[in-house]
Amino acid sequence: MSSHRLRSNERGRIVTLDAAAFRWLAPGVAVLGLVIAGLVPERGAVAATTARQPKTHRVTIEGTSFQPDRLTVAAGDTVVWVNTDPFPHTATSTADAFDSGSIPSGKSWKFRALKAGAFGYICSLHPTMKAQLTVE
Protein backbone atom coordinates (compact mmCIF):
# COMPACT_ATOMS: atom_id res chain seq x y z
CA MET A 1 0.00 0.00 0.00
CA SER A 2 1.34 3.44 -0.90
CA SER A 3 1.74 6.04 1.81
CA HIS A 4 -0.29 8.37 -0.41
CA ARG A 5 -3.43 6.46 0.47
CA LEU A 6 -3.03 7.44 4.10
CA ARG A 7 -3.03 11.18 3.45
CA SER A 8 -5.69 13.11 5.19
CA ASN A 9 -6.59 16.76 5.32
CA GLU A 10 -7.08 18.06 8.82
CA ARG A 11 -8.16 21.71 9.13
CA GLY A 12 -6.42 22.56 5.88
CA ARG A 13 -3.13 20.98 6.83
CA ILE A 14 -1.90 18.03 4.81
CA VAL A 15 -0.80 15.21 7.07
CA THR A 16 1.27 12.56 5.40
CA LEU A 17 2.24 9.32 7.05
CA ASP A 18 5.64 8.30 5.79
CA ALA A 19 6.75 4.72 5.29
CA ALA A 20 8.31 4.49 8.76
CA ALA A 21 5.07 5.56 10.40
CA PHE A 22 3.16 3.08 8.27
CA ARG A 23 5.40 0.25 9.49
CA TRP A 24 4.33 1.12 13.02
CA LEU A 25 0.72 1.60 12.05
CA ALA A 26 0.25 -1.54 9.98
CA PRO A 27 0.48 -4.06 12.86
CA GLY A 28 -1.99 -1.97 14.82
CA VAL A 29 -4.42 -1.98 11.92
CA ALA A 30 -3.95 -5.73 11.53
CA VAL A 31 -4.65 -6.29 15.24
CA LEU A 32 -7.70 -4.02 15.06
CA GLY A 33 -8.95 -6.02 12.10
CA LEU A 34 -8.60 -9.25 14.05
CA VAL A 35 -10.42 -7.74 17.03
CA ILE A 36 -13.27 -6.57 14.82
CA ALA A 37 -13.39 -9.94 13.06
CA GLY A 38 -13.58 -11.59 16.47
CA LEU A 39 -16.32 -9.31 17.72
CA VAL A 40 -18.67 -9.28 14.76
CA PRO A 41 -19.86 -12.89 15.06
CA GLU A 42 -20.42 -12.28 18.80
CA ARG A 43 -22.79 -9.37 18.37
CA GLY A 44 -25.94 -11.45 18.26
CA ALA A 45 -24.88 -13.41 21.33
CA VAL A 46 -23.93 -10.24 23.22
CA ALA A 47 -27.28 -8.65 22.40
CA ALA A 48 -29.09 -11.76 23.60
CA THR A 49 -27.20 -12.00 26.90
CA THR A 50 -27.49 -8.28 27.67
CA ALA A 51 -31.29 -8.50 27.48
CA ARG A 52 -32.43 -7.95 31.05
CA GLN A 53 -32.83 -11.06 33.14
CA PRO A 54 -35.58 -11.04 35.77
CA LYS A 55 -34.29 -10.38 39.27
CA THR A 56 -35.44 -11.49 42.70
CA HIS A 57 -35.70 -8.79 45.38
CA ARG A 58 -35.91 -9.44 49.08
CA VAL A 59 -38.05 -7.61 51.61
CA THR A 60 -37.25 -8.58 55.17
CA ILE A 61 -40.07 -8.40 57.68
CA GLU A 62 -38.36 -7.58 60.92
CA GLY A 63 -39.35 -5.67 64.04
CA THR A 64 -42.91 -5.34 62.73
CA SER A 65 -41.75 -3.46 59.64
CA PHE A 66 -41.00 -4.08 55.99
CA GLN A 67 -37.38 -3.47 55.05
CA PRO A 68 -37.01 -1.79 52.67
CA ASP A 69 -40.42 -0.17 52.97
CA ARG A 70 -40.12 1.23 49.43
CA LEU A 71 -38.96 -1.03 46.66
CA THR A 72 -38.89 -0.49 42.90
CA VAL A 73 -38.64 -3.48 40.58
CA ALA A 74 -39.03 -4.16 36.89
CA ALA A 75 -42.08 -5.95 35.54
CA GLY A 76 -41.24 -9.65 35.52
CA ASP A 77 -39.13 -9.47 38.67
CA THR A 78 -39.94 -11.50 41.75
CA VAL A 79 -40.24 -10.12 45.26
CA VAL A 80 -39.78 -12.41 48.22
CA TRP A 81 -40.92 -11.34 51.66
CA VAL A 82 -39.00 -13.10 54.41
CA ASN A 83 -40.57 -13.01 57.87
CA THR A 84 -37.82 -13.00 60.47
CA ASP A 85 -40.14 -11.96 63.29
CA PRO A 86 -41.29 -14.61 65.82
CA PHE A 87 -44.91 -14.20 64.77
CA PRO A 88 -46.86 -14.11 61.48
CA HIS A 89 -47.28 -11.20 59.11
CA THR A 90 -48.82 -10.64 55.70
CA ALA A 91 -47.92 -8.56 52.64
CA THR A 92 -51.32 -7.40 51.47
CA SER A 93 -51.85 -4.94 48.63
CA THR A 94 -54.30 -2.21 49.51
CA ALA A 95 -55.50 -2.36 45.87
CA ASP A 96 -55.93 -6.15 45.73
CA ALA A 97 -52.85 -6.55 43.52
CA PHE A 98 -51.43 -9.27 45.77
CA ASP A 99 -51.98 -10.87 49.15
CA SER A 100 -49.57 -13.26 50.79
CA GLY A 101 -51.96 -14.49 53.41
CA SER A 102 -50.28 -15.29 56.72
CA ILE A 103 -46.52 -15.74 56.45
CA PRO A 104 -45.45 -17.73 59.51
CA SER A 105 -42.33 -16.89 61.48
CA GLY A 106 -39.24 -17.97 59.58
CA LYS A 107 -41.13 -18.46 56.32
CA SER A 108 -41.31 -16.46 53.12
CA TRP A 109 -43.72 -15.67 50.31
CA LYS A 110 -42.92 -14.89 46.69
CA PHE A 111 -44.76 -12.70 44.24
CA ARG A 112 -43.88 -12.21 40.59
CA ALA A 113 -44.70 -8.61 39.69
CA LEU A 114 -46.08 -8.41 36.16
CA LYS A 115 -48.34 -5.38 36.23
CA ALA A 116 -46.74 -1.92 36.32
CA GLY A 117 -47.89 0.50 38.97
CA ALA A 118 -47.30 1.74 42.48
CA PHE A 119 -48.82 -0.66 44.98
CA GLY A 120 -49.14 0.28 48.61
CA TYR A 121 -49.36 -2.68 50.91
CA ILE A 122 -49.79 -3.42 54.58
CA CYS A 123 -49.69 -6.30 56.97
CA SER A 124 -53.33 -7.16 57.47
CA LEU A 125 -52.51 -8.40 61.00
CA HIS A 126 -50.70 -5.16 61.92
CA PRO A 127 -52.19 -2.47 59.66
CA THR A 128 -49.71 0.14 60.88
CA MET A 129 -47.08 -1.76 58.88
CA LYS A 130 -47.10 0.11 55.57
CA ALA A 131 -44.88 -0.15 52.53
CA GLN A 132 -44.92 0.32 48.80
CA LEU A 133 -43.92 -1.82 45.86
CA THR A 134 -43.41 0.04 42.59
CA VAL A 135 -43.34 -1.99 39.40
CA GLU A 136 -41.89 -0.30 36.31
Q: How far apart are the first and last CA of the chain?
A: 55
We find the least distance from the C-beta atom of residue 122 to Cu ion, in angstroms, to be: 8
Rounded-to-10 torsion of CA 23, 29, 31, 35: 180
Q: Using the minimum distance from each CB to Cu ion, give the nearer residue, 6 or 65.
A: 65
We find the least distance from the C-beta atom of residue 89 to Cu ion, in angstroms, to be: 3
- Residues contacting 89, CB < 8 A, separation 6+: 61, 64, 81, 83, 102, 103, 123, 125, 126, 129
Q: Using the minimum distance from each CB to Cu ion, give the nearer residue, 27 or 63.
A: 63
Q: Using the minimum distance from each CB to Cu ion, give the nearer residue, 57 or 126.
A: 126
User: Is 42 in a helix, a strand, or coil?
Assistant: helix
The contact set with Cu ion (CB under 5 A) reads 89, 123, 125-126
We find the least distance from the C-beta atom of residue 100 to Cu ion, in angstroms, to be: 10
Q: Using the minimum distance from each CB to Cu ion, give the nearer residue, 71 or 123.
A: 123
Q: What φ, ψ does residue 80 adopt, rounded to 5°?
A: -120, 125
We find the least distance from the C-beta atom of residue 118 to Cu ion, in angstroms, to be: 21
